[in-house]
Amino acid sequence: MAKRPFVAKEQLDQIVKKYPTPFHLYDEKGIRETARNLNKAFSWNKGFKEYFAVKATPNPTILKILKEEGCGTDCSSLTELMMSDRCGFGGSEIMFSSNDTPAEEFVLAKKLGATINLDDITHIDFLKEAAGIPEVISCRYNPGGVFSLGTDIMDNPGDAKYGMTRAQMTEAFLKLKELGVKEFGIHSFLASNTVTNEYYPMLAKVLFEVAVKLQKETGVHIKFINLSGGIGIPYRPDQEPNDIHAIGEGVRKVYEEVLVPAGMGDVAIYTELGRFMMGPYGALVTRAIHEKHTHKEYIGCDACAVNLMRPAMYGAYHHITVMGKEDAPCDHKYDVTGSLCENNDKFAIDRMLPKIDTGDLLYIHDTGAHGFAMGYNYNGKLKSAELLLKEDGSVQMIRRAETPADYYATFDCFEIGKKLIK
């Protein structure tokens, strides 16, 4: 499938006159349409709710858009809880899933009425002491081993630090029941960024079968099953996107095969689809500012791994469009680089692209999730602005670019800080 920018070159040329590169640009229309499609795909389930993973794109404007589309939030830290609260999410609209969790985070989650998802059986006593046990709670399940579809190994849950064993789930439910919990949930995450319609139904079957056994063993009422994330996006142009309606139908069939006959047809289905909800609807826009001709051909950009870490950290592929040259032949081989003092600061390695000239705008695809969010300040580089391309075609800045004063702000209690921030 051909990958095309969601913004035309002419429009982008106007945007960069007001907002200097680099910046992340998000597509409001695509975000809203995806949320509506997801809700439609799971409309067969009365209690369905998407809890958007705040970690993917922690921006209040994005969260408010998703709230308008009926989503909740999946939080994993104090600051994500605070942001959700300030954006108007409350109570059962917030799912709190964390690991190695500090006491203060449990305290705030409990105060906000968030549904707490316990990562480990030892956290029961920790939560009891820190904040008290709520009447609704969830536990995270890890089946161990490897997770495969047919002959394809999708991921290795046994090596993941998250979740409880099957025996621990039973023990946890019984203990929590004794402590006054009235409604239970199950959460699990077995594979990341799957580009297949079969993953979610298979995950659902695993969790549904566990849920039936747990309810029989413990006598508790399981209120919801959280299928978490894992539905991916086609980063590469040769990948076909997931069909969310086919996925929803696949989960429905398994639901009716496993849960309904067990008298559990009232169980709500939750999802946490950060990447699927936002990934394709964000792009990193950067400008080519240098050419280098040595042992290889290099194009240097004004963005770097500070703006998009995934290629440096994971070797992840992000498609690149040279704006205005969308249909030009890809007959030049480049490493597309940033300016960090790290050799892995490359957005592409040996990538066939059209001839790039200094000044060309590069559109780096699929940065809407885990793009800006993973940025850091190595080399003293500053994080970029975030912009929203609104449905009416206008552009709104939804986060300003960092300044040196932001970088030095944590020195403001020292004399040197006063000099630096001037």
One DSSP character per residue, 117-129 reads EESSTTHHHHHHH
CATH of 280-411, one of 1.10.1060.10, 2.40.37.10, 3.40.640.10, 2.40.10.10: 2.40.37.10
Which tokens belong to 95? Answer: 């799912």
Q: Are 355 and 332 in contact (CB under 8 A)?
A: yes
**DSSP state string for 58-109:** --HHHHHHHHHTT-EEEE-SHHHHHHHHHTT--GGGEEEE-SS--HHHHHHH
Q: Are 347 and 338 in contact (CB under 8 A)?
A: yes
pLDDT reading at 291 higher than 80: yes
Q: Are 285 and 19 in contact (CB under 8 A)?
A: no
Q: How far apart are CA 251 and CA 215, in angstroms?
A: 20
Place 418 in a pLDDT band, splitting at 50, 70 and 90. confident
Which tokens belong to 51? Answer: 């809890």
User: Parallel, antiparallel, or unpaired: how do β-strands 49-53 and 297-301 relate?
Assistant: unpaired
Q: How far apart are CA 225 and CA 232, in angstroms?
A: 20
pLDDT reading at 156 higher than 80: no
Of 42-51, 144-153, 383-392, the one with minimum mean pLDDT is 144-153
pLDDT reading at 256 higher than 70: yes
**DSSP state string for 388-399:** EE-TTS-EEEEE
Which tokens belong to 189? Answer: 């995450």
pLDDT reading at 5 higher than 70: yes
Q: Are 401 and 385 in contact (CB under 8 A)?
A: yes
Q: What is the mean pLDDT of the chain?
A: 94
**DSSP state string for 275-308:** HHHHGGGEEEEEEEEEEEESSSEEEEES--TTT-
pLDDT tens by residue, 158-170: 455 678 999 999 9
Which amino acid is located at 71 in the chain? Answer: C
Tell which residue, 35, 7, 1, 33, has the closest CA to residue 283: 7
Which tokens belong to 331? Answer: 């007959």
Q: How far apart are CA 126 and CA 219, in angstroms?
A: 24
Phi-psi label, residue 30: left if phi above 0, alpha if psi -120 to 50, beta otherwise: alpha
The CATH code of the domain at 28-279 is: 3.20.20.10
Place 355 in a pLDDT band, splitting at 50, 70 and 90. very high
216: Cβ–Cβ under 8 A, 6 or more apart, which residues? none
Provide mean pLDDT across the span 27-36.
Answer: 98
Q: What are the residue ranges spanned by the domains of the chain?
A: 28-279, 280-411
Widest pairwise Cα distance in the chain? 70
* Phi, psi dihedrals of residue 285, rounded to the nearest 5°: -100, 125
Handedness of CA 178, 181, 183, 185 (dihedral sign): negative
pLDDT tens by residue, 70-87: 999 999 999 999 999 999
pLDDT reading at 391 higher than 70: yes
**DSSP state string for 6-39:** SS-HHHHHHHHHHSPSSEEEEEHHHHHHHHHHHH
Q: How far apart are CA 334 and CA 351, in angstroms?
A: 5
Provide mean pLDDT across the span 336-341.
Answer: 97
The SS3 assignment for 354 reads coil
Q: Are 135 and 113 in contact (CB under 8 A)?
A: no
Count of helices and strands (H, E) across the chain:
13, 19
Question: Does a cis peptide bond (omega within 30 degrees of 0) precede residue 311?
Answer: no
